[in-house]
Amino acid sequence: MNKIFKSLFMAIVLLSATAYAEVSIVSQSFQKSKKKKWIKTEKVVPGSVVMYRNTLANDGNQKAENLVVVNAVSKYMHYIKKSAKCKSKCAITYSIDGGKTFKKPKKLLLRDKKTKKIRKAMPSEYTTIKWVIKKLKGGKKTTVQYKARLI
């Protein structure tokens, strides 16, 4: 089980920021407790929903712009439709090809193996999620997150 979560925490942050922006990222996973509260992930069983959250902190004085966070969705997890969110103003796109290309959900198309017809990809087929955060002022924090179900 640990291998699954280690691979899911690979968050990549690329910065197009001024020289004094100092952005760090912390990745965490949570699951719902019996009391329906989100707690740090301990033991996840098939069917469990896990929330993955990346917290970005700009400890510098200048604003950081166009921050890119990319999270792979493990092959053992299915992305939950419309669960990707960001606290700040951002754009969210998805990939069905392991992060080679990113698009909005309605433009994620693939050829059905059985019918050979082109169809929209289902959220469970998403392999990667990308957030582009427009700006993060110095001394501020923001988060991006998504949920997935262990299959």
**The domain that contains 134 carries what CATH number?**
2.60.40.1170
| Euclidean distance between CA atoms 90 and 67, whole angstroms | 9
Question: What pLDDT is recorded for position 33?
Answer: 81
Full domain range(s) for residue 114: 2-150
Q: What is the pTM of this model?
A: 0.84
Print pLDDT tens along the chain (151 aa). Answer: 444 444 344 444 444 444 557 999 999 999 988 788 899 998 889 999 999 999 999 999 999 999 999 999 999 999 999 999 999 999 999 999 999 999 999 999 999 888 999 999 999 999 999 999 999 999 999 999 999 999 9
| Euclidean distance between CA atoms 23 and 5, whole angstroms | 23
Burial class (CB in 10 A: 0-12, 13-18, 19+), 109: exposed
Q: How many domains does the chain have?
A: 1
